[in-house]
Amino acid sequence: MKSILRFSAAIILLLVIGNVSNAQNPDLPSPATNVVTLPAGSLVIAMDNTNQAISSRFNLKAYGLIVELLDKYKKLKWVIKSGKAKNAADFTVTAERLYPSKLLATSTAFKAGPFVISLSDTTGVGSIINAFNATTTSDVNVYRTTADVSVDVRYDMLGVKPRAAILNDGGKATIHTKYMTNASIPTYNYQIFNTAANLPSNCFTFASEPHNDPNNASEIAIVKDLVDSIRKFVTVDGGNFLAECHAILAYENSVNGKFQSTLGLDKPNSLTSSNFSYVNSDLPYAQYDGAYDPAAGGSVQSYTRLGGEAANNFYPIIVGNTAALDSVYGASVSKFKSGRGGLIFYLGNHDLDGTAETDINGQRMYLNAFLTPAIYPSCPDAAPTPVKLTSFTGTKIDNRQSQLFWSTSFEQDAQQFIIQRSADGVNFFEIGRVTAVGNSTVENNYTIKDFAPLPGRNFYRLAEEDISGRISFSSVIVLNFASSIPSVDIYPNPASQYVIIGFNNLPLKNTFNVYDMTGRKVISNFIVSGNTVKIDVTNYKAGTYLIKLITTEGKVVENKFVVIKY
């Protein structure tokens, strides 16, 4: 048990990022909290076995309804409580079941990553829910809160429209298409491909491979080409990818693989239904209620590293619970880039199409990976934006407020501008709305104030919404509100090439050191002569580094940054 605790602590320590101004990526362990008030009258799509049950098991159709709403540009939020244990509640509130039929309000615990729609965004949602339930064999339960409640929003799904490319080069694409069918995912949102070569140009956010077992040099060469394409799809284009069963070894052990390890993986298949642990249960891939069996079947059920080390911000979801098995996994994740996307998901076992709880939860892991936000590529057939934005600027007012200005030269069926702010340039949250002129071919000017900007950098962008609910985004602007508290600010974080270190409210001529997680100094007694320093990290190993600065007054200020390798 001590070995397991040391192992889990090492995984968590490896991935922690320093401070709030560079908030931890929501895809990685130790995610930052984002608590918001969900007002009474908001809708909740339950994602747990109690509130979303059909014939005593979880109703997978809930995923289909979520995707249907996203396709229609409805504003969903994915609630996952940071730090929660397996099967713990994400929030509890008095709520009534509203769809498919009404039940009286009662105190209800929602868990396993519920999706919510705030009261102000519920217009038109009911007709979509009713139409969806009318076409499925298992109605999806949707609840309405009767009291305000604080919820931890992991992802604002505004503008997210997941699309999957299911690869058939191993001849088993039907495994993953069945998961989609079981969940009533609209057919628009997935397509079978024999190659990964055209994924970005076809607007896919996610790709998956259920099986691949090359047997000769020619087949190995084909897999290498696929791996090269997937590497670009994930690391450059910002998509997400999942490999299941033997596809794990085919992709990981290819010449240009090594997505989660430095030396590749092996398949001991040594986990059983009783000797594993659920870990990182507050991350999106792990949002399911109840049990999962990492030995359900297939040629690769559990896997371990062929020596070497974990790579690319690796973390497990299913891992052995003894000292001998603490490096054997049934499900795991790695992340290649900062911001949305860039994730590689691995899932052991072969075909999880059954109705037993472990099969349902295996399908849920796949569907969770599919829903995890990625970068949405530009689509050649996309409709033109309803707004032509000519400028977007901002200014500080007395270092206590910010004012944003923007102008348009053309608007067609524009409805509103949703103003969003971020502390890290990655995770944006709404701070206000401005009604658009609507239809215009002349210049229109808009402005809004932010009365409570964050200490440090504030990233702002506009979400431009038309009358059909379609969203497009502006470029991002940054305003910096310095705090009076001495701090070391690091950007970008995580980084692959360089980090810029900003020294806030500190005297000049300070000295700092940089340490890796073994305590070894990688930079020693560097004297700062200005407010910023740029450090080249291209030769740093992947992992977490600590900056410790000692001021001329003897005070110590610390922060951390993470180096990732593409």
Note whether 509 and 411 are same-domain residues.
no
Q: Which pair of tokens denotes residue 359?
A: 């099969």
- Which helix (H) or strand (E) segment is 230 a member of? helix 217-235
Q: How far apart are CA 144 and CA 96, in angstroms?
A: 5
Asked, for residue 322, whether it belongs to a domain, the answer is yes
Q: How many CA atoms lie within 13 A of 566 on its CB side?
A: 20
pTM assigned to the model: 0.70
Share of the chain above pLDDT 70, in %: 88
> Are 499 and 473 in the same domain?
no
Q: Tell me, what CATH number does 495's domain have?
A: 2.60.40.3080
* 114 falls within a domain: yes
Q: Do residues 201 and 335 both lie within one domain?
A: yes
User: Could you tell me the two tokens for 115?
Assistant: 């999706």
* Selected residue with higher pLDDT from 267 and 218: 267
Whether 320 and 199 map to the same domain: the answer is yes
Residue 349, pLDDT > 70, answer yes
- CATH number of the domain that 470 lies in? 2.60.40.10
Can you give 93-152 as a three-state secondary structure string?
A: EEEEEEECCCEEEEEEEEECCCEEECHHHCCCHHHHHHHHHHHCCCCCCEEEECCCEEEE
How many C-beta atoms surround the C-beta of residue 144 within 10 A?
A: 19
Same domain, 271 and 225: yes
Verify that 505 and 415 share a domain, yes or no: no
Distances (CA, A) of 192 to 109, 181, 189, 277, 362: 38, 13, 11, 34, 20
Supply the CATH number for residue 289's domain.
Answer: 3.40.50.880
Instruction: Flag whether 3 is in a domain.
Output: no
* Of the candidates 65, 194, 183, the residue with the CA atom closest to the CA atom of residue 132: 65
Within a domain: 402: yes
Q: Is residue 423 within 8 Å of residue 34, measured between CB atoms? A: no
Per-residue pLDDT, 447: 95
Supply the pLDDT for residue 39: 95
- H or E segment and range at residue 414: strand 414-422
pLDDT band at 378 (very low <50, low <70, confident <90, very high): low
Element (H, E) at 362: helix 357-371
**Cβ distance 208 to 178 under 8 Å?**
no
Same domain, 93 and 205: no
- Contact at 8 Å (CB) between 419 and 447? no
89 and 202, same domain (yes or no):
no
Q: Looking at the domain assignment, is residue 412 inside a domain?
A: yes
Q: Tell which phi-psi region holds residue 258, choosing left (phi > 0), alpha (psi between -120 and 50) or beta.
A: left
Please identify, among 481, 510, 539, the residue that sits at the C-terminal boundary of a domain: 481
Residues 327, 289 within the same domain: yes
Using the predicted structure, report yes or no on whether residue 130 has a pLDDT greater than 50: yes
Both 473 and 500 in one domain: the answer is no
Task: Tell me the C-alpha distance between 60 and 352, whole Å.
Answer: 13
pLDDT of residue 444: 92
Region label for 40, one of left (φ > 0), alpha (ψ between -120 and 50) or beta (otherwise)? beta
Amino acid at position 135, single letter: T
Are residues 100 and 141 in contact, defined by beta-carbon separation less than 8 angstroms? yes
Q: Which domain holds residue 405?
A: 387-481
Question: Which of 25-29, 97-101, 220-224, 281-285 is least confident?
Answer: 220-224
**Tens digit of each residue's pLDDT (9 = 90 or more) over 407-421:** 998 888 888 999 998
CB 244 within 8 A of CB 210: yes
Task: Using the 3D structure, point to which of 323, 345, 371 is the last residue of a domain.
Answer: 371
Judge whether 54 lies within some domain.
Answer: yes
- Which tens digit of pLDDT belongs to each residue from 436-494? 998 888 899 999 999 888 878 888 999 888 876 777 788 788 888 876 667 777 767 77
User: How many structural domains is the chain composed of?
Assistant: 4
In a domain, 24, yes or no: no
Asked if residue 466 and residue 497 are part of one domain, the reply reads no
- 468 in the same domain as 493: no
**pLDDT above 70: residue 548:** yes
4 assigned to some structural domain: no
Q: Does 15 score more than 60 pLDDT?
A: no
Query: Among 371, 395, 428, where does a domain finish?
Result: 371
Residue with tokens 């430095």: 262
Q: What is the pLDDT of residue 271?
A: 93
